[in-house]
C-alpha cells in the first residue's frame, strides 16, 4: 500500500467535460479524492464540499480531481445535477483504484463486495504523497485537506 513520501502512481484517465487527464500533466500539487459512486449521499456531500472550496485550493495552486469507477457519462450527469466544477475521472477497470490501494472488500448489511474505499491523497508538486486520508468521514474533510494543502506552501 502506498503511503506518505511514496511517489504517486502515474495515470491517464478519461474525465468529465470531454477531457483526458494524466497525473504527469499536473503543474502543481493535486488533491485526488476517491469516492464510491456518483450521486450517492456521502459522495455528493464530499464533491459539493470540494467544489465549494475549489477557489481556495486554486489560490494555493492546487488542483482537485475526483475518481470513481463510474462512467464518464455518469460523471457528466452527476456534475451537471450538483454543479460540480472539478473534473471527475473514470476508472472503470479499477486499475488506478488498485494502484492507490483503495479497491477493497467492503461489507454492507452482511453482504461482501468489492468497492472503492473513500480516500484522499494530497500529491505534492514533485509527485510524492504529502498526505493520505483513508476511510474518510465526509463532514469537515475538505477543510482538513485545505489545511494540509496550506502547509505544503509553508
Of these residues, 21, 32, 43, 64, which one is catalytic?
Answer: 43
Is residue 48 packed enough to be buried (19+ CB in 10 Å), middle (13-18) or exposed (0-12)? middle
Q: Using only C-alpha atoms, what is the Rg of the chain? A: 14
**Residue 125 · residue 42 · CB < 8 Å:** no
Q: Which residues contact 17 (CB under 8 A, 6 or more apart)?
A: 76, 79, 87
Dist CA 154 CA 141 (whole Å): 21
Q: Please confirm, yes or no, whether 43 is among the known catalytic residues.
A: yes
**Residue 90 · residue 71 · CB < 8 Å:** yes
- The C-alpha angle with vertex 21 and arms to 19 and 25, in degrees rounded to 5, equals 130
Which sequence positions are flagged as catalytic? 43
Amino acid at each position: 500500500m502506498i503511503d506518505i513520501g511514496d511517489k504517486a502512481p502515474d495515470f491517464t484517465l478519461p474525465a468529465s467535460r470531454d477531457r483526458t487527464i494524466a497525473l504527469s500533466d499536473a503543474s502543481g500539487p493535486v488533491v485526488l479524492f476517491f469516492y464510491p459512486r456518483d450521486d450517492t449521499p456521502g459522495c455528493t456531500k464530499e464533491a459539493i464540499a470540494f467544489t465549494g472550496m475549489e477557489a481556495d485550493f486554486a489560490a494555493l495552486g492546487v488542483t482537485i480531481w475526483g475518481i470513481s469507477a463510474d462512467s464518464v457519462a455518469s460523471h457528466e450527469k452527476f456534475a451537471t445535477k450538483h454543479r460540480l466544477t472539478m473534473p471527475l475521472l473514470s476508472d472503470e477497470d479499477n486499475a488506478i483504484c488498485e494502484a492507490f490501494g483503495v479497491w477493497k472488500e467492503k461489507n454492507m448489511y452482511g453482504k461482501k463486495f468489492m468497492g472503492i474505499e473513500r480516500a484522499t491523497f494530497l500529491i505534492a508538486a514533485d509527485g510524492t504523497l504529502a498526505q493520505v486520508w483513508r476511510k474518510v468521514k465526509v463532514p469537515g474533510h475538505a477543510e482538513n485537506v485545505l489545511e494540509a494543502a496550506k502547509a505544503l506552501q509553508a
